[in-house]
Amino acid sequence: MGRKPCCDKMGLKKGPWTAEEDEILVNYINMNGGHGSWRSLPKLAGLLRCGKSCRLRWTNYLRPDIKRGSFTLEEEKLIIQLHGILGNRWAAIASQLPGRTDNEIKNLWNTHLKKRLICMGLDPQTHQPLSSSCNPDGKAHAASTSTRHMAQWESARLEAEARLSREPYLFNNSNKTDSDYFLRMWNSEVGQSFRDVHKSDNKGGCQSPISLGSLSATTTTDLASNPASIVKEDLVWGGSKKIASDSSSSSELEEDSCDTSLQLLLDFPINNDMSFLE
DNA sequence: AACAACGGCAACCGCTATTGA
DNA sequence: TTCAATAGCGGTTGCCGTTGT
C-alpha cells in the first residue's frame, strides 16, 4: 500500500492561505480547545485543505504565542551558537527561542546568518574558518579542546530539556521543577561556578571568531566537529542512570549531584588546555 | 518606464519517527 | 510483532516585493 495521494490529487486547495481560511482554522481550534487530529480537522472545520497544510499554517503562523517581527541581535547570536552545537536541527534550535518557529529560524539562517558567517570567513556548516591558516602554533587546537566541554554541557542540557518535555512521567515523583538530574546539576551552584569561571576567563582571552557577548556557553570553531556520542555518554553517566535507580532521598541526590558535578568539572581540562586564554 | 535579477518568506514535499490497533 | 495512520522535521520550491540596469 503506497502513500496516500496528496492534497492536489484529492481536489484540495494549495498555495497561500486567505484571511477567511485563517479565521476558520483559528476559530475551530479555539472552539474545540485544540486541534485534535490534524487529519480530520479540515473536514470538521470545513476547510478545503489537507491536515498537513493546516498544521503548518497553525504552527508557523497562526499560533497565538508566535512572536512576529524581526529577530533581535541576541536571538541571532543564540541561533548561531545553537547551530554550532546542534547543526541543522531547526526544531531543537527553535525550542530555545520562545515564539519563534523552526521554519522562521531556518529561513533566517539561509537568508542572513549563513551569509554573515561566510563574510566572517567561517564555514556555515562547521563554524570553522574557511582557511585554516590561523594559529599555526596549535593554540587553536588547545582552545577547541577546552571549549568542546562547553559545547558538551550545552548540548547535553538541550538534550535533557528536550527529554524532560517529552517524558514528564519519568520525573513526577518529586516536587522539584528541575527533576532532570543533569538539569539540576547544570543549574546547581557548581554549574553556576563553572559558568562564571569560563565567563570571566573568556573576557580577555582568545574567543571564537563569533563574539557571543554575554551568552554563558560559547560557540567555538570546533563545535561542529564535537561528537555527540561523548555528550551522550556524559548524559547517561550523570542523568539517566540516576533516574533509573532513583530510590534515594533528595539530600542523597544532592550529594550525588555535587560529586558528579565535581567529576565533570574536574574533567574540564583547565590545567592542560586553558593556556590559550593567557 | 520596463524588464531582469535578486532576496525574503510562506508553503509544500518527502522522509523518518512515533503511536496504536 | 507487524503495519498503517499520523505527526514532526528538514530540504526545497515558488511567489512576490524590491532593487538594479
pLDDT tens, residue by residue, A176-221:
333 344 444 444 444 444 444 444 434 333 333 333 333 333 333 3
Tell me the average pLDDT across A96-113. Answer: 86
Length A52 CA → C7 C1' (Å): 9
Length A125 CA → B16 C1' (Å): 22
Tell me, rounded to whole angstroms, the distance of Cα A79 from its chain centroid. 9
Of all residues in chain A, what percent carry a pLDDT higher than 90? 0
CA dist A248 → A58, A120, A168, A174, A210 (Å) = 44, 51, 19, 12, 43
Q: Is the pLDDT of residue A246 over 80?
A: no
Tell me the average pLDDT across A114-123. Answer: 80
In chain A, positions 74-93 with C-beta closer than 7 Å to nucleic chain C are: 88-92
In chain A, positions 130-159 with C-beta closer than 7 Å to nucleic chain B are: none
Per the CB < 8 A criterion, the answer to whether A61 and A54 are in contact is no
With a 7 Å cutoff on the CB, does A106 touch strand C? Answer: yes
CA dist A141 → A153, A163, A209 (Å) = 19, 32, 14
Per the CB < 8 A criterion, the answer to whether A191 and A261 are in contact is yes
Q: How confident is the model at residue A32 (pLDDT cuts 50, 70, 90)?
A: confident
Per the CB < 8 A criterion, the answer to whether A265 and A274 are in contact is no
Q: What are phi and psi of A87, to 5 degrees?
A: 70, -150
pTM surpassing 0.75?
no
Q: Is the pLDDT of residue A106 over 50?
A: yes
* Mean pLDDT computed over every residue of chain A: 58
Tell me the average pLDDT across A153-181. Answer: 43
Nucleotide closest in space to A1 (CA vs C1'): C4
With a 7 Å cutoff on the CB, does A4 touch strand C? Answer: yes
Angstrom distance (rounded) from CA A117 to CA A232: 28
**Could you give the dihedral angle defined by the CA atoms of residues A213, A218, A224 and A230, in that order, rounded to the nearest 10 degrees?**
-170
Nucleotide closest in space to A56 (CA vs C1'): B11
Tell me the average pLDDT across A97-116. Answer: 85
Q: Is the pLDDT of residue A115 over 60?
A: yes
More confident: A46 or A201: A46
Of all residues in chain A, what percent carry a pLDDT higher than 70? 42
Q: What integer pLDDT is reported at residue A84 of this predicted model?
A: 83
Length A166 CA → B17 C1' (Å): 14
Give, rounded to a whole angstrom, the gap between the first and last alpha carbons of chain A: 64
Q: How confident is the model at residue A107 (pLDDT cuts 50, 70, 90)?
A: confident
Q: Is the pLDDT of residue A19 over 80?
A: yes
With a 7 Å cutoff on the CB, does A14 touch strand B? Answer: yes
The per-residue b/e assignment along A156-195, b for 16 or more CB within 10 angstroms, e otherwise, is bbbbbbebbeeeeeebeeeeeebbbbbbbbbebebbeebe
- Residue A71 DSSP code: P
CA dist A85 → A125, A155, A190 (Å) = 11, 6, 22
What are the cell numbers at A87? Answer: 547543526
More confident: A222 or A37: A37
A90 burial level (CB within 10 Å; 0-12, 13-18, 19+): buried
Tell me the average pLDDT across A79-99. Answer: 85
Residue with cell 483559528: A26
Residue with cell 579542546: A145
Angle at A263 between CA A259 and CA A269, to 5 degrees: 155
More confident: A145 or A89: A89
With a 7 Å cutoff on the CB, does A7 touch strand B? Answer: yes
More confident: A124 or A224: A124
Q: What integer pLDDT is reported at residue A69 of this predicted model?
A: 78
Q: Is the pLDDT of residue A6 over 60?
A: no
Residue with smallest Cα–C1' gap to C16: A16
In chain A, positions 46-105 with C-beta closer than 7 Å to nucleic chain B are: 49, 52-53, 56-57, 60-61, 70, 103-104
State the DSSP H helix or E strand holding residue A41, giving kind and residue range, or none if neither.
helix A41-45
Q: Is the pLDDT of residue A28 over 70?
A: yes
**Could you give the dihedral angle defined by the CA atoms of residues A15, A79, A131 and A268, in that order, rounded to the nearest 10 degrees?**
-150
Length A275 CA → C3 C1' (Å): 58
More confident: A272 or A57: A57
Residue with cell 497553525: A58
Length A7 CA → B12 C1' (Å): 10
Angstrom distance (rounded) from CA A92 to CA A159: 9
With a 7 Å cutoff on the CB, does A108 touch strand B? Answer: yes
User: Which range among A134-143, A162-171, A236-245, A258-267 shows the weakest confidence by mean pLDDT?
Assistant: A236-245
Tell me the average pLDDT across A161-174. Answer: 41
Length A52 CA → B2 C1' (Å): 41
